[in-house]
Amino acid sequence: MKPVVLLTILLCLLIHHSPHAQTLNALVSGTVSSDKGEALAEVNVSLKGYPIGTTTDKNGHYTLQIPANRQLTIIFSMIGCETTEQQMQAKAGEKVKLDIQLAPSNENIEEVTVRQRRAQQNMSRIDPQFGAVIPDASSGAVEALIKTLPGVSTNNELSSQYSVRGGNYDENLVYVNDIEVYRPFLVRSGQQEGLSFINADMVSSIEFSSGGFDAKYGDKMASVLDIRYRQPKSFAASASASLLGGSIHLEDATKNQKLSFIGGARYKTNRYLLNSLDEEGDYNPNFTDLQAYLTYRFSDAFDVSFLGNIARNDYLFVPQTRTTTFGTWTQPLETKVYFEGQEKDHFNTQTGALAFNFHPNQRVNLKLIASAFQTKEEVNYDILGEYYLNQLEQDWATGSSDSVLNLGVGSFLNHARNKLDATVYSLAHKGAYNSEEHLLNWGFKIQTEDINDRVNEWVMRDSTGYSLPYSDSELLLYSTTNTNNQFSTWQASAHIQDTWAVPIESGKLFLTSGLRANYREYSGEFLLSPRISASYFPDWEKQFIFHLSGGRYVQPAFFKELKDRDGKVYPETKAQKSWQVVAGSEYLFQAWDRPFRFKSELYYKYFSRLTPYQIDNVQIQYLADQQAKGYAAGLDLSLHGEFVSGVQSWASISLLQTEENIDGDGHGWIPRPTDQFLTVSLFFQDYFPGNPSYKVHLAAFYGSRLPTGPPNGERYMDTFRMPPYRRIDMGISKSIISADSAEPKSALLKKIKELSLSLEVLNLLGIKNTVSYFWVYSNYGDMFGVPNYLTERKLNLRLSMKF
């Protein structure tokens, strides 16, 4: 499916919801201001019990269409202000003016609050409620939303990982309540990947930057995902169950608000999805997760919080057979593989963090965070496969095909006994001072790492009776890795940055400048990273926002970047380094009496030092014995707004080119593994006019061809392009109980605030996407890449409740 098809779908939906189709609605508009009369931008305006909402513009103005002839509650909320609710009822076609004032909140001052007030534009805010409705196969609701944003690409629905503007999965920072979180390191495919660390049931805010982020964030080169968990004020709970797993969550606080607790348990199994793969067998994946966030407030000025997570991910697979049809119209091919053996993997991780938060007044916030991460991972498999490579003859009359020629017979034996034990401890301080003119942020962090990496892995290949590579005197293995790497190291980092308003005659100008410093003991490298950004809000009749950011972004080598393909460690490996600049604009406008935002960003990254890598499915194999220079340049466009009145949707288009030149290989510039010229994504919401209890949610993705190459090949050989990634997931839901529902007669149902049932059609078009290749040899020594296809069309039924 070409990108134009996605845009055509969007256009048809827009036409379907032209203004005359909304005759069963009323229109509410007004202005939201502070108790001092100042207009408040980015205030959330939502309809209680409905997926309907909008945000105020820079003048505090909002417009919201609501169902007519119903008693409704409109909620006005903003970080740092008290939430206000307003009840109302309007007739069909009626226009109601409603102005609201929000009082300041007495809650703890957090950096996210003061950052909001300074109108920073290098972070995008996303409503966490969208995570509960987006159809998703990987069960990573927050990451599923991130994948729909401009500059973000994905080619694997089984994985919650994503690539941003030419970076790989390891170049993305993820924070939960200022704590950097990690994933298991030995995962090789999306099938093995468990639950994301982020529990969507506990999230209160999501902020994301696809580049040009501030110095207060860590030392990586691609993106930042900043998550905040809630500090509840009263009891609430939720539960959900589907064919892909389930979750429950509880939250509560004591009457005096001294102690608050929020926690959740999740279970995921993708056996149902994996049964649609070409590789048939007994899949038994089980992923579980327990998470809790507690806060105890000793006084209005001091509180202590704890974040804990325990995850156990087990993957068992006993393959049996595999039949894959591939090739071209003129040369259709088929590979049949018969298996013996099994794979048994364990990924057990634990995270704990204790944070002491001191805020003596409204201007100062001081935080001390002690955190620990531990992972124990095992990958064990012995799999024997015997394959037949056949050429097919297509019978166009019946649509069937028969094998007419055997091109190759061979076998392989894959063996692994890999183990990894890793611990990461850190102690960090973060501070903020907010004056009338400046917002000053500072911090430092000390981190220790202890790694025990044991690899015993080999592959034997046989083609037409000869072991590869061929020898007439000895039996040689196709590849082998046997290492035992143990090392401990530490690193220290610090940052300082200031944000202030620059007085100008027309509009508002905000500047942020900062400096990061990093020292890593293992490589003995000291790094400085200056960064600066500017946001300009011109005082024009039409609402525009302009922003410019850039600086130096570095990524010190972690243990994966230190190894080559043979498992040898190169302790002298230096950090990857880049200079980046991002220029963008936003245009806020009204269409059909509804708010829209068009955003564009142009960026360029120059990488003065890169560690080349190759990727297979989600496994990244660095080539630490090599280094390169490179660049990434692109354009991101997005349109965000109420395509359907009262519900927000967005569409994104991104253009990218990224290349690297490996030192001394003599092959010049070659595409990086993430060189994806065009990506298109769409998140669309709809509901029945006059009856929002019936909803439709659609997530669509297109990604052009990614480069790849043969196994164990040289980096310059990775120029073959996989087919484009094309996928549409759709969910249709019915709200059975909501805030406006009639009082239920059953005592049990009275305890349920919301109850909904949804049917998800995953991979709506049934397209077989390719994620990687399985390479086989013919009788004549030719190598064929057999596609490893992803999941086919599947239905998922999901029941969700809130108490």
Q: Is 434 helix (H, G, I), strand (E, B) or coil?
A: strand
Tokens encoding 638: 């997005």
How far is Cα 596 from Cα 543, in angstroms, rounded to an integer? 11
DSSP string, 568-632: -B-TTPPPEEEEEEEEEEEEEEEETTEEEEEEEEEEEEEEEEE--EEEETTEEEE-TT--EEEEE
The residue type of 474 is E
Q: How many residues would you count in the chain?
A: 803
**What pLDDT does residue 127 have?**
85
How far is Cα 716 from Cα 722, in angstroms, rounded to an integer? 16
To 5 degrees, how large is the angle CA 434–CA 437–CA 438? 45
How far is Cα 326 from Cα 324, in angstroms, rounded to an integer? 6
Q: Is 465 helix (H, G, I), strand (E, B) or coil?
A: coil
| Residue 506 burial (CB count, 10 A) | 10
Chain-centre distance for alpha carbon 331: 39
The closest of 17, 19, 86 to 47, measured between CA atoms, is 86
How far is Cα 715 from Cα 707, in angstroms, rounded to an integer? 11
Residue 507 near residue 537 (C-beta atoms within 8 A) = yes
How far is Cα 763 from Cα 652, in angstroms, rounded to an integer? 19
Q: Residue 10: which H helix or E strand, with range?
A: helix 3-16
Per 3-state DSSP, the chain is made up of helix, strand and coil in percentages (nearest 5) of: 5, 60, 35
Q: Which residues of the chain fall below pLDDT 70?
A: 1-24, 49-53, 79, 105-121, 394-401, 464-465, 690, 739-748
How far is Cα 729 from Cα 323, in angstroms, rounded to an integer? 26
DSSP string, 761-778: EESTT----EEEEEEEE-
**What pLDDT does residue 780 have?**
75
Instruction: Catalogue all structural domains in the chain, each as residue range(s) with its CATH number.
Output: 3-108 (2.60.40.1120), 124-802 (2.40.170.20)
**What pLDDT does residue 18 have?**
42
Residue partners of 128: CB distance under 8 A and separation at least 6 = 142, 200, 203, 204, 205, 206
Compute, in degrees rounded to 10, the torsion defined by CA atoms 226, 230, 236, 237: 30
Residue 375 near residue 742 (C-beta atoms within 8 A) = no
Helices (H), 71-193: 111-117, 141-146
The residue type of 342 is Q
How far is Cα 336 from Cα 322, in angstroms, rounded to an integer? 6
The closest of 307, 332, 366, 340 to 108, measured between CA atoms, is 366
Q: Could you tell me the pTM of the whole model?
A: 0.87
**What pLDDT does residue 16 have?**
47
Beta strands 172-176; 223-229: pairing state: parallel
